[in-house]
Amino acid sequence: MGTMQIPRKAIKDEAIDNSKVATAAGIVESKLALNNPTHSSANDPTTDQKAALAGEGTPSGSNKFATKSYVDGLGSGTAEDVESTSGSRTSLTLLHTPKSAAVLIVCYCGQVLRRVAAAPGQGEYTWATTTVTLGFAADDGDWLYANYVY
């Protein structure tokens, strides 16, 4: 049976009930007035995460969001260290010691690098006090950038 259109005035109020809607009708859940939605709440934010999104709370195992006020309270300021490399280079010396690895972002030629605990590879780095050690040699004239709270 093909699709047909029925003028709205031809359907009486409350004439259509559940028994008259085909199982394969494909009505999206958002158009239904459900008391108990059928979607999973597995990805819904936790109470801690909701608080962080509202600008409150602190990061924890159950709350991966850091608020601006939390980050501002970590240190005495923020820094941006930018250097153009000369020769083949495998490290960057920061002007200050970052408060934690969670507030340190390192970029090479505009690409964010991934911090690892040890033995960095291509696109990765390690960090200790004011030293960022790259897992590769930066080319002459390329840019290294670090942004962090100290």
Range of the domain at 105: 75-149
Does some domain include residue 3?
Answer: no
Same domain? For 61 and 90 the reply is no
Identify whether residues 61 and 35 lie together within a single domain: yes
**Beta-bridge partner residues of 79:** 148
Residues 6+ apart with CB under 8 A from 79: 94, 95, 96, 146, 147, 148, 150
Three-state SS for 70? helix
2 within a domain of the structure (yes/no): no
| 113 falls within a domain | yes
The residue type at 135: G
Confidence of residue 123 (pLDDT cuts 50, 70, 90): very high
Q: Do residues 128 and 145 both lie within one domain?
A: yes
Both 29 and 63 in a single domain?
Answer: yes
pLDDT at 95 over 80: yes
| 60-71: pLDDT as tens digits | 666 666 666 666
pLDDT category of residue 132 using cuts at 50, 70 and 90: very high
Query: Which among 71, 102, 129 is the end of a domain?
Result: 71
Using alpha carbons only, what angle is made at residue 57 by residues 64 and 52, rounded to the nearest 5 degrees? 55
The total domain count for the chain is: 2
Give the closest residue to 109 by CA, choosing from 149, 141, 147.
141
The verdict on 80 and 119 lying in the same domain is yes
Same domain, 143 and 88: yes
One domain, residues 80 and 140? yes
- pLDDT, one tens digit per residue, over 96-118 is 888 887 788 999 988 899 999 99
The answer on 92 and 63 residing in a single domain is: no
What average pLDDT does the chain have? 79
Are both 106 and 119 inside the same structural domain? yes
What is the distance in angstroms between the CA of the first residue and the CA of the last residue of the chain?
69
pTM of the model: 0.50
Mean pLDDT, residues 140-150 taken together: 87
Q: What pLDDT score was predicted for residue 100?
A: 80
Question: Is there a single domain that holds both residue 61 and residue 87?
Answer: no
